[in-house]
Amino acid sequence: MPRERLSVVVTRRLPEVVETRLSELFDVRLRDDDTPMTRDELAAAMRTCDVLVPTLTDKIDAGLLAQAGERLRLIANYGAGVDHIDVATARQRGVLVSNTPGVLTDDTADMTMALILAVTRRIPEGLAVMQKNEWTGWAPTALLGGRVGGRRLGILGMGRIGQAVARRASAFGMQIHYHNRRRLRPEIEESLEATYWESLDQMIARMDVISVNCPSTPSTFHLMNARRLKLMKPSGVLVNTSRGEVIDENALTRMIRSGEIAGAGLDVYEHGTQVNPRLRELPNVVLLPHMGSATLEGRIEMGEKVIINIKTFADGHRPPDQVVPAML
């Protein structure tokens, strides 16, 4: 007798090719529109499915997990970050959690370099002039930016994405420096031509550009707080494509407005979609709507990892990308 197919609920719209493959393999309930599920909708889904496929817009905390039925056995997250899921509580309830690490490394690193260039070369300001039809012709002193070659880049978090940023920045002639929870192996350091700083404060004070590429954990919350932001050079630029909570957004806004920091490029924000309105007004700040991983190739690869995790689980094995609390 054929084995009964797992019941899978997907909380957001995914690329069509991913949804099609999920439907071929499992008993899938797809989302009709691309709005996040409400808390009540999530609770109802978790009571009636074997596998939930959430995204970073779904906050699955202990209270929500308490409403899950006995049927839920796997949360196959569509994304690498799992700070929106209470992994420890899920584990206590016998629910496994998996993610999709590694597939978005290059896409996010590309966006980091795009933001560095956008801020230092004042690209959005030039774009605005053209869109408003205000360009009157070339001028020797118009929209002068700065050359990235020769600048010191300080990378905060030297994991997969941090190292990918380092390789790209090195090709642009930037000097690579980094701070990490653990120092890289000598051969990796040498290949990246990267200088390790044990003291984050000392690194920040000496860099021209700071790139935040670390995960969101209790220890990284407001790691770039007001005190550390004050250590930056007045000509310094701050870029963040990781998690908004790592930076004290209000302090950053005050310091850019007062000229203590030259500019910033942000793809993530401390309070999600609620971006400080005073930050939006600044011409030397480039704000993007969390586009770091937004490539079709990356989204499809994320879906493929979700499918592999569910299929492996369905076959009675541990998902290859299972997340355990010790990993966080």
Residues 220-274: tens digit of each pLDDT = 999 999 999 999 999 999 999 999 999 999 999 999 999 999 999 999 999 989 9
- β partners of residue 28: 8
What angle do the packed helices 296-314 and 16-25 form, to 10 degrees?
Answer: 10
> Which of the following CATH numbers is that of domain 7-103+295-327: 3.40.50.460, 3.30.420.40, 2.40.50.220, 3.40.50.720?
3.40.50.720
pLDDT digits (tens, 9 = 90+) for 92-122: 999 999 999 999 999 999 999 999 999 999 9
Please tell me whether the overall predicted TM-score, pTM, comes out greater than 0.85 for this model: yes
Instruction: Indicate the CATH number of 105-287 among 3.40.50.2300, 3.40.50.10420, 1.50.10.10, 3.40.50.720.
Output: 3.40.50.720
Do residues 285 and 279 lie in contact, with contact meaning Cβ atoms separated by under 8 Å? yes
β-pair type (237-240, 209-212)? parallel
Q: Are strands 96-98 and 322-323 parallel, antiparallel or unpaired?
A: antiparallel
Task: Output b/e per residue, 151-178; b: 16+ Cβ within 10 A.
Answer: bbbbbbbbbbbbbbbbebbbeeebbbbb
The 10s digit of each residue's pLDDT in 146-162 is: 999 999 999 999 999 99
Domains of the chain, by residue range, sit at 7-103+295-327, 105-287
Token code pair at residue 24:
């071929």
Phi, psi (5° rounding) for residue 211? -115, 120
Q: For the sheet containing 175-179, what is the strand order?
A: 194-196, 175-179, 152-156, 209-212, 237-240, 263-266, 285-287
Distance CA 307, CA 24 (A): 11
Domain 7-103+295-327 and domain 105-287 have a common topology: yes
Task: pLDDT band for 4, please (50, 70, 90 cuts).
Answer: confident
User: pLDDT at position 216, please?
Assistant: 84
For residue 117, what are the CA distances in angstroms to 7, 112, 238, 270, 286?
46, 9, 12, 23, 10
Pairing of strands 237-240, 194-196: unpaired
User: Strand, coil or helix: what is 319?
Assistant: coil
